[in-house]
């Protein structure tokens, strides 16, 4: 019998090496190579066959149009993130920190789907049937079409799945699943990859929509190789602080819809509740009488969301000034502070700067730049901005304001929520319809925008 071989596999990219290395030669990550033993039998199964294997190549016009069937999950925010519902035979990976609510949301979805008459199989590799039942009781999910199974072996799961023939299946979590023909431990790169491939084949051949729960590493990526994200059809991430009740579900990859769609939930004692009015919720706890608070309208996918940026600027007492940000990339903050200093004559070199975005939101689009700069300026000058002001615009290195996408949609949202004084890049004013009653001011530079706000007339804060 051939001897089992030891290989080292990178947990980031799946690169295989024959000996241990500190740095992966393929993706360059450090300390990601993990030792795995490989049984000789497993090695022969290298070739992965895609569904529809053996089919003839066809001109694209002759490929039959198959309408992708979408079924509603019963949770509108989840449907939105998925691009309009659950697609038959698709595979969705749901990642997020432990305790953030992945199992809760998927249990609620399972209950909703089974309530409509379809069967759902919820496979848990982490919890016993009793634990699943306890959660389901709490969520009021006791439908007859809701099947549960506590199992880790993928081939047994396949058997049970064939007997239940569900329309939707949840696998919680992929890191606890194993295949007996692979010798490495569950959660290792080979197991995760092969189990996903196995379940993927099941999903594609049976038409069952599959939801995989994926654990995340300390760095926030889904544990296991990146290839996992490449294999599945959609990747959803739960964001948000466990200590706050709001959770944000974001699509980072979606073969059936647009990415960067976002769904907002609130964790309650009866499970995850949808938050349809994200803007109202985020703005509800806004401080009205403090400097450094600026409202902005961010686009999350197709949806405008208003939130507020808070900045606190305080003199540095000792050593280097501190810069901290939550919800904004700190290197973007460094850049904006440099622009403020050089192009808008606002010295912050001897000031500590703290930035926070309300509700645990993360702002990734540059359209938030102007609001961040204005919040810093407002705090450093101790100037209160009017309660009905909202700002948007990308700030360039020359201090110029650049146009933001979807300006009209953003203005409508601002108007809807009662923000009628808007500062936006001048180039955005061309060719858009300004909502009635709105005072939209176009500014060419950051300096101009801050001048409009009266930053330079205000006295600097000594406090
Ligand atoms: P869970 O879905 O088990 O998290 P994950 O699967 O992402 O690890 O949710 C865990 C937390 O949610 C737990 O701390 C309890 C809380 N929770 C509620 O607040 N309300 C509920 O109705 C349920 C079921 C859980
Ligand atoms: Mg869980």
What are the boundaries of each domain within the chain? 5-40, 69-276, 283-452
**Mean pLDDT in residue range 38-67:** 67
The residue length of the chain stands at: 463
CATH topology of domain 69-276: Rossmann fold (3.40.50)
Inform me whether the pLDDT recorded for 223 exceeds 80. no
Residue 140 in contact with ligand 1 by CB distance below 6 A: no
Residue 109 has pLDDT above 80, yes or no: yes
In angstroms, rounded to a whole number, what is the distance separating the alpha carbons of residues 198 and 181?
12
- Is 359 exposed, middle or buried, given 0-12, 13-18 or 19+ CB atoms closer than 10 A? buried
Q: What is the DSSP string of 44-104?
A: HTTPPPPTTTTPPP--GGGS---PPPEE--S-HHHHHHHTSSEETT-EEEEE--TTSSHHH
Q: What's the mean pLDDT in 93-111? A: 91
Point out the ligand 1 atom lying closest to the alpha carbon of residue 98. Answer: 8
Residue 225 pLDDT exceeds 70? no
pLDDT at 67: 67
Q: Is the dihedral of CA 131, 137, 138, 140 positive or negative?
A: positive
Question: What confidence score (pLDDT) does residue 30 get?
Answer: 87
Predicted local confidence at residue 13, as pLDDT:
78
Mean pLDDT of 171-180: 91
Quick: pLDDT tens for 121-172: 999 999 999 999 999 998 988 888 999 999 999 999 999 999 999 999 999 9
Fold of 283-452: Ribosomal Protein S5; domain 2 (3.30.230)
Q: How far is the centre of ligand 1, averaged over its atoms, from the C-alpha of 102 (Å)? A: 8
**129: which 2 tokens?**
């049937």
Is residue 134 in contact with ligand 1, taking CB distance under 6 Å? no
For ligand 1, mutation pick of 93, 94, 104 (most atoms within 8 Å of CB): 104
Q: pLDDT at position 359, please?
A: 74
Q: Residue 53 above 80 pLDDT?
A: no
Instruction: Taking residues 93-103, report their average pLDDT.
Output: 89
Assign 5 a pLDDT band (cuts: 50, 70, 90).
confident
Q: How far is the CA of 130 from the centre of ligand 1 (A)?
A: 15
Q: Answer yes or no: is the C-beta of 138 below 6 A from any ligand 1 atom.
A: yes
| Residue 52's pLDDT band (cuts 50, 70, 90) | low
In sequence order, what E strands does 260-383 have? 262-268, 271-274, 293-300, 303-315, 323-326, 351-357
Report how far residue 4's alpha carbon sits from residue 240's, in angstroms, rounded to the nearest whole number: 43
How high does pLDDT run on average in the chain?
A: 87
**350's tokens:** 């001897």
pLDDT band at 463 (very low <50, low <70, confident <90, very high): very low
**For residue 121, what is the DSSP state?**
E
Strand ordering across the sheet containing 303-315: 323-326, 351-357, 303-315, 293-300, 389-391, 421-425, 439-443
Q: Which ligand is nearest to the CA of 172?
A: 2
pLDDT tier at 226, thresholds 50, 70, 90? low
Please give the distance, rounded to the nearest whole angstrom, from the Cα atom of residue 100 to the centre of ligand 1. 6
Is 90 exceeded by the pLDDT of residue 92? yes
When pLDDT is cut at 50, 70 and 90, the band that residue 2 belongs to is low
| Ligand 1 neighbourhood includes 96 CB (under 6 angstroms) | yes
pLDDT for res 441: 94
- Ligand 1 pocket residue status of 40, Cβ below 6 Å: no
Question: Percent of the chain scored above 70 by pLDDT?
Answer: 92
Q: Hey, which of 20-34, 233-247, 272-286, 384-398 has the most confident mean pLDDT?
A: 384-398
Structure tokens at 201: 């084949």
Whole-number pLDDT of residue 57? 86
Q: What value does the mean pLDDT take over residues 289-315? A: 89
User: How is 397-456 classified by DSSP, letter by letter?
Assistant: TTSBEE--TTHHHHHHHHHHTT--EEEEEGGGGTT-PPPTT-EEEEESBHHHHHHHTTTT
Answer yes or no: is the C-beta of 101 below 6 A from any ligand 1 atom: yes
Per residue in 372-391, pLDDT (tens digit) is: 999 999 999 999 888 889 99
């Amino acid at each position: 019998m051939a001897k089992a071989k030891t290989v080292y596999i990178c947990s980031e990219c799946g690169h295989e090496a024959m000996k241990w290395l500190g740095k992966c030669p393929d993706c360059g990550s450090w300390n990601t190579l993990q030792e795995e033993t490989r049984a000789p039998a497993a090695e022969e199964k290298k070739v992965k066959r895609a569904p529809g294997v053996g089919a003839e190549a066809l001109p694209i016009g002759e490929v039959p149009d198959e309408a992708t069937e979408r079924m509603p999950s019963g949770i509108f925010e989840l449907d939105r993130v998925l691009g309009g519902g659950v697609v038959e035979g698709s595979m969705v990976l749901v990642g997020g920190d432990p305790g953030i609510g992945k199992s809760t949301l998927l249990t609620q979805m399972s209950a909703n789907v089974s309530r409509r008459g379809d069967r759902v199989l919820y496979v848990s590799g982490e919890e016993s049937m009793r634990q699943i039942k306890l959660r389901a009781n709490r969520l009021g999910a006791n439908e007859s079409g809701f099947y549960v199974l506590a199992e880790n072996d993928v081939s047994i799961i396949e058997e049970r799945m064939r007997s239940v023939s569900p329309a939707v299946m949840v696998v919680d979590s992929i890191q606890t699943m194993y295949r007996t023909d692979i010798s490495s431990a569950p959660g290792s790169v080979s197991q995760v990859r092969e189990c996903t491939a196995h379940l993927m084949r099941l999903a594609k051949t049976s038409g069952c929509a599959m939801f995989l729960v994926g654990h995340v590493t300390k760095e926030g990526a889904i544990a296991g190789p990146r290839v996992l994200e490449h294999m599945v059809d959609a990747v959803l991430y739960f964001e948000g602080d466990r200590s706050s009740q709001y959770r944000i579900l974001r699509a980072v990859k979606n073969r059936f819809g647009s990415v960067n769609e976002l769904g907002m939930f609130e964790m309650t004692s009866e499970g995850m509740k949808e938050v349809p009015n994200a803007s109202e919720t985020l703005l509800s706890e806004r401080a009205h009488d403090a400097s450094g608070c600026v409202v902005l309208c961010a686009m999350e996918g197709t949806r405008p969301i208003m939130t507020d940026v808070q900045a606190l600027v305080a003199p540095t007492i000792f050593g280097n000034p501190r810069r901290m940000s939550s919800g904004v990339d700190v290197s973007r903050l460094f850049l904006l502070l440099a622009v403020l200093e050089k192009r808008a004559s606002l010295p912050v070199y001897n000031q500590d700067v703290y930035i926070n975005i309300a509700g645990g939101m993360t702002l990734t689009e540059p359209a938030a730049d102007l609001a961040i700069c204005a919040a810093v300026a407002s705090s450093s000058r101790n100037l209160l901005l009017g309660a009905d002001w909202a700002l948007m615009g990308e700030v360039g290195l020359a201090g110029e304001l650049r146009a933001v996408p979807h300006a009209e949609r953003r203005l409508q949202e601002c108007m809807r929520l009662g923000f009628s004084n808007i500062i936006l890049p001048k180039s955005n004013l061309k060719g858009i319809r300004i909502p009635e009653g709105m005072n939209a001011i176009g500014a060419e530079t950051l300096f101009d925008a801050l001048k409009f706000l009266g930053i330079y007339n205000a006295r600097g804060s000594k406090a």
